[in-house]
Amino acid sequence: MITRRHCLAAAGGTLGGLAAAPLRAQGSFPSRGFTLMVAQPAGTPSDANARKIQPYLQKSMGQSAIVENVAGAGGTLGAARVLQQPADGHTLFVASPTELVLSPLSVPAARYTAEDFAMLANFGRIPYVLVSRTSLPQAALADILALAGKAGAPMSMGNIGAASLIHLLSLDFERISGLKLNHVPYRGVAPMVQDVMAGQLDMCFTPLAGNTLALLEQGRMRTLAVSSIAKARVLPQVPTLAASDMRFARFDYEVWGGIFLRRETPEPVQARLHAWWTETARDPEFLGWMRSTGGDPLPVAALAETRAFYTSEVARYRALLKAFPEAARG
């Protein structure tokens, strides 16, 4: 950037004057308050992450920061809202692979791709936990799996929209188990979990993040299994699906969340925000909170490494959706 500026300055004239203006503008960043956009309802893991980093952002940048929830259409409404804002770094998107990669491939109204966003930060990977309503007659996972092939109404399984990651792993669970499930879409994790706790939904996979652990400890849902190959650090007593039944030996699902910007955001602005994230991610109180809610924080990576990770994950999730084409049909 410095080299380009010096070259333009040496050239002189009108061209040099025009080129200097945006550089001065970037140097004043931030020039106004921030919006942390969440494409899921309040109470979801993405929302919890956004509200946790909000005060850190305010303190470091000396500007206000608000959390805005724009839920619906598999997260595509929130993503679209981000892309409608200036690419100046004042709107941060707290998101997951569902709204970034999977939903734009399955929601006809979506007019964006994963490549329209640049990854700034990675919160780390978290597993899902399979939960059921406490009033379900089948109290254990083995009892539920034993229903395969038997007559009766199908059990209901929640998801957060067609082709969401929760939908995909639910379809995989159905395929492997041989159960017939009634897949019920919701506008987000929070209303889906609320229906499980209210006894209106039989089962769902929910991320082991945010307030999920607290709800499980309160006994408001039954915990059946976790979705990863390795046991969850905060739920070591809960078996994995892979360990519960040999048919699930390769059943291994985790999810990451992160902070994103519009791809066109200037490099100096991205670098400034990445410096803020590096400071926040190393804060002992923040790390303690992440671990207490089920997260497995990753060491802060350089921006180039973060972008490479995002590129590889986009390819991985697109391949996953291709393996379950029925997901895009709802």
Q: Which residues belong to CATH 3.40.190.150 in the chain?
A: 31-126+255-329
pLDDT surpassing 90 at residue 6: no
pLDDT surpassing 70 at residue 329: no
Residue 43, pLDDT score: 82
Residue 234, pLDDT score: 87
pLDDT digits (tens, 9 = 90+) for 151-163: 889 999 999 888 9
Query: How big, in percent rounded to 5, are the helix, strand and coil portions of the chain?
Result: 50, 20, 35
Fold of the domain built from segment(s) 130-254: D-Maltodextrin-Binding Protein; domain 2 (3.40.190)
Residues 6+ apart with CB under 8 A from 205: 128, 129, 130, 131, 166, 169, 170, 173, 227, 253
Question: Which CATH superfamily, name and number, covers 31-126+255-329?
Answer: Bordetella uptake gene, domain 1 (3.40.190.150)
pLDDT digits (tens, 9 = 90+) for 227-262: 999 999 889 999 999 999 999 999 999 999 999 999
Q: How many CB atoms lie within 10 A of CB 260?
A: 25
The model's pTM is: 0.81
Q: How many CB atoms lie within 10 A of CB 75?
A: 31
Residue 297, pLDDT score: 82
Enumerate the H helices of the chain as residue ranges: 2-11, 13-27, 45-61, 76-84, 97, 103-106, 141-145, 165-177, 189-197, 212-217, 241-244, 267-281, 284-292, 303-323
Q: Which residues belong to CATH 3.40.190.10 in the chain?
A: 130-254
Q: Which residue type does 191 have?
A: P
Cα–Cα distance between 99 and 83 in angstroms, integer? Answer: 13
pLDDT surpassing 60 at residue 3: no
Cα–Cα distance between 188 and 206 in angstroms, integer? Answer: 10
pLDDT-based confidence at residue 10 (cuts at 50, 70, 90): very low
- From the centroid of its chain, how far is CA 119? 12
pLDDT-based confidence at residue 292 (cuts at 50, 70, 90): confident
Residue with tokens 């400034």: 272
Residue 330, pLDDT score: 59
Residue 302 per-residue DSSP state:
P
pLDDT-based confidence at residue 210 (cuts at 50, 70, 90): confident
pLDDT digits (tens, 9 = 90+) for 78-107: 999 999 999 999 999 999 999 999 999 988
- Using DSSP's 3-state secondary structure scheme, residue 110 falls into coil
